Amino acid sequence: MDVQQRRRIAIVGLTAPAYLWLALAVFLPLSAMLYFSFLTVAPFGGREAELTLKHYRAFIDKPLYRDLAWISLKLGFHVTLICVLMGYPAALALARYVKGRWREALFLLVVLPFWSNALVRTFSWTMVLRGDGLVDRMIQAVLPWAPSLDLLFSYPAVVIGLVHAYLPYMILTCYISLQAIDDSLIEAARSLGASGATAFRRVILPLSVPGLIAGTVLIFVPVIGSFMEPRILGGPRAATMLGTVIEEQFTRIFNWPFGAALSFILLGIVLLILALSYPLLRRPMQAM
Backbone angles phi, psi at 51, to 5 degrees: -75, 140
pLDDT one-digit tens code per residue, 93-144: 988 888 878 888 888 888 887 788 888 888 888 888 887 777 777 777 787 7
- CA distances (Å), 242 to each of 143, 160, 163, 279, in order? 39, 19, 19, 28
Who has greater pLDDT, 253 or 135? 253
Q: Is 41 helix (H, G, I), strand (E, B) or coil?
A: coil
How far apart are the C-alpha atoms of 9 and 6, rounded to whole Å? Answer: 5
Confidence (pLDDT) at 91? 92
Q: Which amino acid is at 114?
A: F
**Spatial contact of 189 and 166, defined as CB atoms under 8 Å apart:** no
Is pLDDT of 163 > 90?
yes
Confidence (pLDDT) at 34? 92
Q: Which amino acid is at 116?
A: S
pLDDT one-digit tens code per residue, 222-247: 999 998 899 899 887 667 888 999 99
Confidence (pLDDT) at 268? 92
Q: How confident is the model at residue 280 (pLDDT cuts 50, 70, 90)?
A: low
Q: Is 248 exposed, middle or buried (0-12, 13-18, 19+ CB in 10 A)?
A: middle
Q: How confident is the model at residue 286 (pLDDT cuts 50, 70, 90)?
A: low
**How many other CB atoms are found less than 10 A from the CB of residue 87?**
27
pLDDT one-digit tens code per residue, 16-42: 888 888 888 888 888 889 999 999 988
**Spatial contact of 149 and 136, defined as CB atoms under 8 Å apart:** yes
Backbone angles phi, psi at 195, to 5 degrees: -75, 175
pLDDT one-digit tens code per residue, 165-206: 999 999 999 999 998 888 888 888 888 888 888 888 888 888
How far apart are the C-alpha atoms of 248 and 251, rounded to whole Å? Answer: 5
Report pTM: 0.86
**Spatial contact of 233 and 157, defined as CB atoms under 8 Å apart:** yes
How many percent of the chain have pLDDT more than 70? 95
Altogether, the residues listed in the chain come to a count of 288
Is pLDDT of 284 > 60?
no
Which stretch of 140-144, 160-164, 246-250 has the lowest confidence by average pLDDT?
Answer: 140-144
How far apart are the C-alpha atoms of 33 and 145, rounded to whole Å? Answer: 55
How far apart are the C-alpha atoms of 216 and 102, rounded to whole Å? Answer: 27
Is pLDDT of 73 > 90?
yes
User: Which secondary-structure segment (H or E) carries 190?
Assistant: helix 183-191
How far apart are the C-alpha atoms of 250 and 30, rounded to whole Å? Answer: 15
**Residue 272: which of 55, 73, 75 has the closest Cα?**
73
How far apart are the C-alpha atoms of 241 and 64, rounded to whole Å? Answer: 10
